[in-house]
Amino acid sequence: MDLELNSNLINDFNNNGFLILDKFIDKEYLERLRGRFEPLFKGEFETGIEPDEWNWKFGKDPEDVTRQICNAWKADTLIRELVCHKVVGECCARLMNWNGSRLIQDNVLWKPPGGKSLGFHQDAAYDDWIIPQTMTTCWMSLDDTSKKTGTLEYIMGSHKWGLQPPKGEFHSPDDYKKELNKFVKKNNKQIEISYVEIPAGGAAFHHGYTWHGSGVNNSKNHRRSIVSHCVPHDAKFHPTNTGGTAKIYKKYKKDDSNEMDSKFFPLLWDGNLN
């Protein structure tokens, strides 16, 4: 994995709120990464450590939903290598003009043929328990994606619309654009959608305020992606806030400190890690 960010790419990110790249993960890595999905969703964890969230289990849950695991890096060393890669950290930091970045959470997402949608949202809305309340996401695709496979969709320029408190269903909502449309109507905004249509091994980065979601997978192919959600390397716990995903992740806060422990929120890049 190697990417030189130039000022044109950084300008695109600043203008649009996202950056879509056809090539990011080395091709020889892809088949090995795909091979980790089935054991993970069967609960076979290489390290013996369970991920923090695990919303779908083989044989127990409906076939037509998008399967998600959060913090698979704790369970699997190959996933860890990817989501904690210094290039991921460096790109997230440089795009956001941070001095460094750490992983707040990863996602392993598997949208099978017929797999349902994920509701439009803003990632940073879920981390009011972090100071500063921000995020950058690196979404890496293991499959060729298109509108038909229910790929990720971005609303152009929506990172400039401010941050709304999280609302609505994330998994399989009846109308995955409901919250977006409500906001747009109320605030008199225009929607311009960009579909992340990339080959396997490509990636997309987005700002924590960018509205995004994804539709049903209407193709015969699986749509698998692995995601690193990053915050600034010197982010701290908010001493009191408990919104969003705090009930799952704030348990890693020590009583007497607001520091984020790198054992639970790995440091990816701090400007000195080459």
Distance CA 163, CA 161 (A): 7
Residue type, 94: R
Q: CA separation (Å) from 192 to 156, 159, 165, 212? A: 6, 13, 22, 11
Q: Of 71, 137, 149, 245, which lies in the binding site for ligand AKG, with binding defined by CB under 6 A?
A: 137
Any contact of residue 123 with ligand AKG (CB under 6 A)? Answer: yes
Any contact of residue 20 with ligand AKG (CB under 6 A)? Answer: no
The H-or-E segment that residue 91 falls in is helix 86-96
Query: If DSSP states are collapsed to H, E and C, what string results for 103-134?
Result: EEEEEEEEECCCCCCEEEECHHHHCCCEECCC
Any contact of residue 245 with ligand AKG (CB under 6 A)? Answer: no
Chain center to CA of 5: 20
Distance CA 189, CA 112 (A): 33
Taking the least distance from each CB to ligand AKG, the nearer of 139 and 237 is 139
Any contact of residue 149 with ligand AKG (CB under 6 A)? Answer: no
Any contact of residue 139 with ligand AKG (CB under 6 A)? Answer: yes
Any contact of residue 140 with ligand AKG (CB under 6 A)? Answer: no
Taking the least distance from each CB to ligand AKG, the nearer of 139 and 265 is 139
Which residues make Cβ contacts (< 8 Å) with residue 82, sequence separation at least 6?
25, 29, 33, 88, 140, 226, 228
Any contact of residue 109 with ligand AKG (CB under 6 A)? Answer: yes
> Contacts with ligand AKG: how many residues (CB under 6 A)?
11
Question: What is the number of the residue whose Cβ is closest to ligand AKG?
Answer: 214
Judged by CB under 6 A, the chain residues 181 through 240 that form the site for ligand AKG are: 212, 214, 225, 227
Q: Of 40, 65, 118, 260, which lies in the binding site for ligand AKG, with binding defined by CB under 6 A?
A: 118
Interacting residues toward ligand AKG by CB under 6 A: 107, 109, 118, 123, 137, 139, 152, 212, 214, 225, 227
